[in-house]
Each structure stands twice: as C-alpha cells, then as structure tokens.
Chain A
Amino acid sequence: MGYNIIVCIKQIANDIEIDPQTREPVFSDTKYRLEDLSRNAVEEAVRIKEKYGGKVTGILFGTEQSTVVMKEAMAMGADEGIIVKGFKENSPDFTAKVLAERIKRIQYDIIIIGYASADSYTAQVPGALSILLGIPLLGSAIKTEIADNKVRITRESDDFDIVESASMPLLVSVTQEANEPRLPLLIQVMAAAKKPMSIEETALKYDGIDKIIGNKAPESGRKHIIYEDEGKGIEEIVKIIKGEIS
C-alpha cells in the first residue's frame, strides 16, 4: 500500500534588485529557487511517503530555468519531476488551468501545494485547482494525517483552528507552520541528478489581456538618520518619542 502523491511547485526569483532611478525591478541575471511554501509542500509530501509509502511526483509550471528548481525538490525526496514550460507572471488562473490539465493525466491520491507563494501572495491556485479537478480542498493545513483513505488536517484560520477531513483523491494546501523543510545532504543532491524528469510545453493558450499600469517599488521618503553611538542615539530617539506622545 502506498499513495501516489503529487506536489505542485513554484519557482521564485532569488533576489530581485530594484533600479534606484526607475524604482522598477531588474531581471538581468535572475536566478530561481524553490519557493518558500513550495518547500513546505515538498516536505509534507515526502513525509507522507516516508510514513505511508508511495511515490512523490513534482509538477512545476515554469520556464527554461526550472530544472534546477525541480532538482532541489528531488534532493528533498521527490521521486519524479514534470516541468511544464510557458509560465506567465501574475496569472494564477492560467497557472491553475495548466496544472489541472496536466494533473488530469496522472494517477493520484493526494496533491500537496503551498497555501500561497512568497512573491505574489495571491493564494489563488489551490482553490482554483480544486474546482477545476473536482476534488475537495483541505486548505491552510498545519497538520496532516491519513487513515482509511481519508485525510484529516488541522486548518489554521484567522480566529481559530479547525479540524477538517475528506476522502481521497483530494488537494491539501500547507502553510509555513506545517513543517520545517529539510536541508538535503550532498549525497541526496547528487542522487537527484539521476531522477527522471520530463520537460514539456503546455498545450493551453494564454489569453491574458490585463494592462499593467505600473510595477514599481513605492518611494521610501524616510529620513534615514542612523546613530551608531548608543548614548547619542538614545538621547535623540527620546526627543522623537516625546514629540509623538505629547
């Protein structure tokens, strides 16, 4: 017995520089890595495999640079990888459609995905994916358990936590509190190079028509008066605070 586990992965720019003149992001030489909550998703998928048996397939809607990102997931314990090329920034609905279309052709019991991504933070893909695949979503999980083909999670919500459960096949979205992602050993990093990975183009056509008016860093306008002398700093800060609270 074991489960066919799919983990949906996103890639994220390592660090985005802002051009101080135009305040726009600069993309030359950008390196990509496994997105923060995708790391929690991979960790959760691998833990389920380790506990209950089965196989973990990573799926990443990405670009030319995605193989290094998929290898990171494989070093953490994903067994196979599927990269679908054609990613469009800022189009979570398109991402969900592409992922759903590809996942429909795979046998699965459970899909794991991050609740939101650290760059765009739309949190749109899990909900959309569950509708497009017609499977239940157990969202915002901080704890995931499986018994009798049923998955039970503790869901973290704004004002309370709640236990939710549903039958497989299903989708689970995890938060940053779900687990502590492992750091792979060198031997695991090397083994990842030999794991099977397919790279394909999406058959779906992107029909995004939004107009981007701007995407700039907000102007800071802060004074930046920094004291390295503690005594002097305390003296000046007290004046500022007194001015504010009077």
Chain B
Amino acid sequence: MKALLFSDRPLVTAQMSSLLCDYFEIGFMAYSKDYESLKDFGAKEIIVINGEYSPAESLAREIVSYMKEYDYIFIGATVLGREVGAMAAAISGAEMKSEIIEFGIKDGKTTTKRLYYGGKTVLEEESNAKIFTVSQGLKETKKIESSPKKNEIELKTKSSVELGEKIQKATTSTDITKADIIVSIGRGLSKKEDLSIITDFASVMHAELAGSRPICADYHWLEEERQVGLSGKKVNPKLYIAIGISGQIQHIAGMRGSKTVIAINKDKSAPIFSECDYGIVGDLYSIVPKLTKILRG
C-alpha cells in the first residue's frame, strides 16, 4: 500500500516518514525549496511543487488528485496542514483523523490515538480514515537510502485567496523536541526582564529553554517555537523542570512524555504538582537563583 506525505515543514515530513515507512511505500509532496533536504528519507517519489507557500485549498485539491494512486494521505499538523487536511477530506468525502500521535493497521482498518478533552484523555479509535494530520515532533527522523523519482508540478487550482506580505518571525535554530533537559517557564514569572534568572539556571545545566502558551504566544517573551503544549510542541526530555507553570491540561499534554519532571510553584494546589516527580512549593524568585548558585559550584 502507498501513502503520500505532505508538510510545509520538511522536518515534519521526515518525522512522518520514520513513523510510517514500515507500513507503506512512501511518497512525499514538498515545496521545491525543501526537495534537497528530503531526498534521503525513504520516499520512492517526491512530487515537487514549484514555489514555497500556497493557499490551503490549492494544496488540498492537488493532494486529492493523487488519491487514486495513493491509498492513504498523511499531512503534518501545522497551521497550514490542518486546513489542507480538512479541505482534502471535505473535497474527497474521505474520512479523516486529526492530530494523531500513534498509527497502526489492523484487518484493513486503521487504529489511531489522539489527545482528547484538552489532553485529559487519549482517544483510541478504529476507523476507515484515509486522511490524517500527524502531530509534530512524534518521531526522530532517520535517514533512509533512497533515490526518489522527482516529479515536478505546478498547482492546478488557483485559490480565491490572495497572498500578501510575508512577515518572518523571530526564529532560532533550536528544536526543543530534541532536548535532553528542558527548563520551562510559565506565568509565575512576572516580567520579561526577569527571564535572566531562568536563562542563567538553564545555562548551568546546558538545558533548552521552553515556555507555556502565555509566555510564548501571548506575551512573546520566548519564541513561539519554544511553546510546549497541545497547540505547541510535544516534548520528551530526560528532565523537564517546570517553573511557575500552573499545569493546565493543555500544557501537560505537551510534556507528558518527559522522563523526570520537577516543578517549582508557589501555589501548593497547582495542578502541575500532580504531574511531577519532585516539587518545591515556594517562590521561584528565591529558589531558582539558589539552585543556579549551587549547581554552578
């Protein structure tokens, strides 16, 4: 059986390939700018779209036109990918499962898992779904020797959405999904200037910095790619240190894969304490500098 994989982020395409290569003969659909970086991830064919960004509907109609050749469609759950998947399902009439975190096939049916009730539960389903969006950061990428057939195309459907100015976000080259140690900060930090307390602590441990949704998406104190949670990244470090994070279920959904969790919070009843291995009830402004000092030696 054949599966076609698409994401506007090549890293996610490669992650999906390592999740699915045991089940399917894989094909990629990718933008021309990403072709070189995707050559060695196990695809038999790469359908190369001329360009670097396009409206969701143009992509969805293109993908649906390949559903005769490919049995299953997997799309990276990015902002664009979620729309492309939903549209492809509505156009084709095929069933779709969103934001999956596990995939399997049993007696011709697919079994999938995904987070539900804001991440409180994991919903496991058996369905006839043909289209899936796949949660980002699920699998390590692995290089697979392959010499894919390159098939260059232009998107056939012109969308009624006009594209305007592109505003690049402040990004770094960090990928928190690969970190061994993560220091994550929440609303317990009262102002941006105090971030140095946290960065000092993170640097003595060579840890990556991450944050909750308010810190990354609302206040922009940290880059959005450092957001851990249901709508951010799902991380699985050896050590996750949650500082001033109350532990809303949407946040827990992103850090549940961590091996050891330490929490520091002044609110004894904060839900993070039911999701941690070790916790200190107290003021981060007092505790964190002391930890930094001791660890620095």
Contacts and interface: CB of A to CB of B under 8 A. Distances in A.
Nearest to A133: B90
B287 A234 contact: yes
Nearest to A90: B123
Interface in B250-269: 250, 256, 260-262, 268
Nearest to A227: B280
B90 A127 contact: yes
Contacts, number: 249
Interface string B40-58: 0000000000000101110
Q: Give the interface centre of B91, B268, B277 by most chain A CB atoms within 10 Å.
A: B277
Nearest to A96: B90
B144 interface: no
Interface stretch (B21-29, B109-117, B186-194): B109-117
Q: In this complex, which of B99, B164, B280 has the most chain A Cβ atoms within 10 angstroms of its Cβ?
A: B280
A241 B295 contact: yes
Nearest to A13: B117
A244 B279 contact: no
Interface centre among B164, B168, B275 (most CB of A within 10 A): B164
A159 interface: yes
B98 A122 contact: yes
Interface residues of B, number: 84
Interface residues of A, number: 77
Contacts of A23: 121
A116 B60 CA distance: 19
B291 A215 contact: no
Contacts of B122: 214-218
8 contacts: A13-B117, A90-B116, A120-B116, A155-B79, A160-B167, A162-B164, A226-B281, A227-B278
Interface of A: 13, 16, 18, 23-25, 90, 92-93, 96, 115-116, 118-128, 130-132, 136-140, 152, 154-167, 176-177, 209-218, 220, 222-228, 230, 233-234, 236-238, 240-242, 244-245
Closest 10 CB pairs of A and B: A127-B86, A163-B164, A233-B280, A131-B90, A122-B98, A123-B82, A128-B90, A223-B277, A213-B124, A226-B279
